[in-house]
Amino acid sequence: MHLYEVLRRPLVTEKTTLLKEEDKYVFKVANGATKHQIKEAVEKTFNVKVTKVNVIIVRGKTKRMGRREVTGPSWKKAIVGLEPGNKITLFEGV
């Protein structure tokens, strides 16, 4: 998997903005991405030093449409911890 295919988009919510104060950033990543690939992609894309990567698989939500139950797609979320002093400027001012 190419490094540009690993990171899909940053997640900006209330909880993720609170994590930013602890030098942790949250991204939606490709389903087949590993922790090593995520670490390498963040380091090369934003020129920062990554200390820790936590990966969470978010299950798709089940909704009812008449008599049928439809399940949305599952996706993968990564919480990336940076060394103190490193910042990702993409999230500044959001």
Q: Does domain 3-79 have CATH number 3.30.1360.120?
A: no
pLDDT tens by residue, 40-86: 999 999 999 999 999 999 999 999 999 999 999 999 999 999 999 99
Provide the percentage of residues in the chain whose pLDDT is more than 70: 96
In this prediction, residue 4 carries a pLDDT of: 85
In this prediction, residue 89 carries a pLDDT of 83
The mean pLDDT value of the chain amounts to 93
What's the pLDDT band for 1 if we cut at 50, 70, 90?
confident
For the chain, the three-class secondary structure string (H helix, E strand, C coil) is CCHHHHEEEECCCHHHHHHHCCCEEEEEECCCCCHHHHHHHHHHHHCCCEEEEEEEEECCCEEEECCEEEECCCEEEEEEEECCCCCCHHHCCC
Domain ranges of the chain: 3-79
